[in-house]
Structure 1
Amino acid sequence: MRKLVYGMNLSLDGYIAAPGDDIGWGVPSDELFQWWLDQERAIGLLLYGRKLWKNMRSHWPTGDQQPGATPAQIEFARNWRDTPKVVFSSTIDTVDWNTRLVDGDAISEITRLKAEDGGPMRVGGATLAGAAMRAGLIDEYEVVTHPVLVGGGTPFFTALDSWVNLNLVETRTFPGGVVLNRYEVRR
């Protein structure tokens, strides 16, 4: 059975994007970017909602060709292109870059994918991850908190029907006061 990971950069008040989908406050240091790259290399399948897919495909297909791209950014772009992806959307017609589109029931498909053999999967996008959270499908949370309060926007966590007990498995501090807390779901 595959593991499902949900992790993103978030503000101290719990948002992955400020109002207007502004993520400018979450620019990672080189050390944090390298950590994200290392995590992504271990992922066997990326699961995206529509908004995050549009964000990722607007930059990473050619991210390694951007002026001033660091070695980690070059490798991230290459890894992103090569990693299989599934996009869940009923409004997108086509996808590219090693990606499959699913316009049906996301929870059924994620459940099916989890039952397969293979490397860990990462779910991204607040709406999709929220649905996976409520369905009890997430096995690990990577909470990368930046020292900024944005006052609103898109929350990292969604409303849940019941408590989810977690075990802290890693804590790490990055430059600029960014703190990683990684949790596994206690089953």
Structure 2
Amino acid sequence: MPKIIAAFNMTLDGNCDHTAGIPDAEVHDYYTQLLNESGAILYGRTTYELMQYWRPMINNPTGEKSMDDFARAIDRIPKIIFSSTLTETGWDSATLATKPLEQVVAELKQQPGRDVLVGSRSLIIQLANLNLVDEYQLCIFPVIAGPGLQLFDNINDRTVLNLIKTKTFDGGSVLHYYKPASSGSNN
């Protein structure tokens, strides 16, 4: 059964604005590998539109290997987009969800296959509130960004997480892998 993995970047102070971090080649390489090993990624409209940044690099590579490899990985992975305003995705590997998030995730978890990534702040919050995230992979950039969008605002209940492992990148970013503690200790 696939795991639902919330994979997201943020600054040391919790800011998750995509312009606040400092991804380097090593971080891009990590996420390229994660995408290549996963079966699908879920996006909300806003993050999906931000990810369109990578599409031109498919036909016009930058020459920066880590970025070009990431662009190919994000192009290949099936993307399920949750939006009430989009009518088409414009990307061959992306489809618009036709069912509610909770139902789509329940169906994905029942299918054999690879893990499913969640790459949007809004979807991570919704799935966390539904206790449907099996693992959090949070890459913390060594930056204090100040005011901005926080990843975990609007969480309904306190959730205890167990640290599984960490990965430190040469540039100073640290990836934290967490698993929710048993439901009895989430209060």
Partner of 1:91: 85
Partner of 1:6: 6
Q: Are 2:44 and 2:81, in contact at CA under 8 Å, matched by a contact in 1?
A: yes
Q: Tell me, in whole angstroms, the C-alpha distance in 1 between the residues paired with 2:88 and 2:134.
A: 30
Q: Deviations over 1:101-150 (max 9, x none)?
A: 02542222222222221110011111111101100111111111112222
Q: Are 1:5 and 1:120, in contact at CA under 8 Å, matched by a contact in 2?
A: yes
TM-score (structure 2 length as normaliser): 0.88
The Cα of 1:45 is off from its aligned counterpart by: 0.5
Question: Which amino acid is the alignment partner of residue 37 of structure 1?
Answer: T
The Cα of 1:71 is off from its aligned counterpart by: 2.0
The Cα of 1:176 is off from its aligned counterpart by: 3.3
- The unaligned stretches of length 5 or more in structure 1 are 18-22
Q: CA RMSD in A?
A: 1.8
The Cα of 1:163 is off from its aligned counterpart by: 3.0
Q: Are 1:63 and 1:69, in contact at CA under 8 Å, matched by a contact in 2?
A: no
**Closer, same or farther: CA 107–66 of 1 in aligned 2, 3 Å:** same
Q: Which of 13, 20, 24 is equivalent to 1:25?
A: 20
**Closer, same or farther: CA 25–69 of 1 in aligned 2, 3 Å:** farther
Q: Which of 120, 128, 152 is equivalent to 1:125?
A: 120
Q: Tell me, in whole angstroms, the C-alpha distance in 1 between the residues paired with 2:62 and 2:75.
A: 19
Question: Which amino acid is the alignment partner of residue 110 of structure 2?
Answer: A
Q: Tell me, in whole angstroms, the C-alpha distance in 2 between the residues paired with 1:81 and 1:47.
A: 13
Q: Are 1:15 and 1:152, in contact at CA under 8 Å, matched by a contact in 2?
A: yes
Greater per-residue strand proportion: 1
Q: Are 2:137 and 2:177, in contact at CA under 8 Å, matched by a contact in 1?
A: yes
TM-score (structure 1 length as normaliser): 0.88
Q: Tell me, in whole angstroms, the C-alpha distance in 2 between the residues paired with 1:122 and 1:164.
A: 20
Q: Which of 48, 69, 76 is equivalent to 1:82?
A: 76
Partner of 1:149: 144
- The unaligned stretches of length 5 or more in structure 2 are 183-187
| % identical equivalent positions | 29
